[in-house]
Amino acid sequence: MRMLCEVARQKRRLKLHDKMSVKFELRVARGGGDCEAGFGQFIRTFTFGPGVGLPIVQPGGNLEFPIPTVPPLHVKYVESSRYGPGLELGSGTWRVAVRVNPSVVADFTVLVNGQAPKALGTSYEYTHTIRTDAGGGAALTLEYDVVAPRRRRNILSIQNTGSSLFTVGDIPNTRIGDTALITEVTVQRLGDVSVVARCR
């Protein structure tokens, strides 16, 4: 009799575990809570022509990249926020890849909520870039991992953090007719240890 009761209890536990697993999987699939995946790729194009100057980024201004290439998941571009235009992200660690072709001496930084990320235990702002070479028309390709600390509405932006304006040229081999790609930003959520622990 005791053995039968124990078997029944084990079956109830397994059923409960299966129900919880299904609920968690549905939550992830629907993008619920902090367990959501996230990715997106956003670009800015520019049409060149006679007498058309290159786009300018003023000191304190942000690079713009409002056009998604594919439907983003849990990422969106916002035109205005307290940190200027950028990407709105959920919490966690994100991989950020940037392709851009700025003029020489361009000084810009990838910011999270208006702050430059620092390497652990240091004051080194690892997402700060100063272009010191003419580059021969080559685009810069940059990649970083950054932490978005807030549960919702983190803003990732790329700001001119120098004292002078700079121009943005076309990324080589992207010109179709007179239109070319001038900025490309790709983000992917890698996860968050604290979030993963809560979602198990």
Per-residue pLDDT at 199: 40
Query: Cα dist. 19→16, 24, 34, 83 in Å?
Result: 5, 9, 20, 42
More confident: 13 or 95: 95
- Specify which residues 115 forms β-bridges with: 112
- Which residues, other chains included, contact 73 with Cβ-Cβ below 8 Å and sequence gap of 6+? 31, 36, 37, 38, 39, 40
Per-residue pLDDT at 200: 38
**Cβ neighbours of 59 (radius 10 Å):** 13
Residue-wise pLDDT for 110-157, tens only, equals 999 999 999 999 999 999 999 987 656 689 999 999 999 998 899 999
**Res. 4 pLDDT band, cuts 50 70 90:** low
**Res. 71 pLDDT band, cuts 50 70 90:** very high
Closest residue by Cα to residue 43 from 144, 179, 191, 166: 179
**3-state secondary structure at position 165:** coil
Query: Cα dist. 169→57, 70, 177 in Å?
Result: 11, 23, 15
Residue 79 CA to residue 168 CA, distance in Å, equals 19
Q: What is the pTM of this model?
A: 0.77
Domain limits, the chain? 37-192
Task: Report the CATH fold assignment for 37-192.
Answer: Jelly Rolls (2.60.120)
Per-residue pLDDT at 172: 94
Per-residue pLDDT at 109: 97
Per-residue pLDDT at 192: 57
